[in-house]
Amino acid sequence: EVQLVESGGALVKPGTSLRLSCQASGFTFNEAWMTWVRQAPGKGPEWVARISLHRDGGATDYAAPVKGRFTISRDDSKSTLYLQMNSLQTEDTAVYYCTTYLRGYLESWGHGTLVTVSP
């Protein structure tokens, strides 16, 4: 059974940094493209970032609102996905989900971790 467990969410002030982690199990992590998706309170999901396989160069892509501030990375030896978030803004407040990714669809989702950015 695929399991994705996010951690690292917290209440932080604007301008600070936070790193999210996603521990994966139940599938071959190093053969899976992965993404981060966020969902602000009362809003729909918003794609945040994507990372390809290590053997494909670990290419990354980002949504416009986070480009230059967020960095997605992976450690295949630990089956763990990361999201480094810098210069956090109040608009970044959301539940952050780790998901598998294939041809544009997100099959498996974690339960999410809440990030609250507030003065």
Partner 1 sequence: QSALTQPPSASGSPGQSVTISCTGTSSDIGGYNYVSWYQQHPGKVPKLIIYEVTKRPSGVPDRFSGSKSGNTASLTVSGLQAEDEADYYCSSYAGRSVVFGGGTKLAVL
List, edge to edge, every strand of the sheet that includes 60-62. Answer: 11-12, 113-117, 94-101, 33-39, 45-51, 60-62
Our finding on whether 91 is near partner 1 (CB under 8 A) is no
Q: Among the residues of the chain, which ranges form H helices?
A: none
Single residue of 83, 97, 113, 115 touching partner 1 by CB under 8 A:
97
CA 68 to centroid of chain Cα atoms: 15
The radius of gyration of the chain from alpha carbons, rounded to an integer in Å, stands at 13
Shortest spacing between CB 45 and partner 1, in angstroms: 5
Closest distance of CB 22 from partner 1, Å: 13
Residues 38-67 contacting partner 1, CB under 8 A = 39, 44-47, 50, 61, 63
List residues near partner 1 by CB under 8 A.
Answer: 35, 39, 44-47, 50, 61, 63, 97, 101, 103-107, 109-112
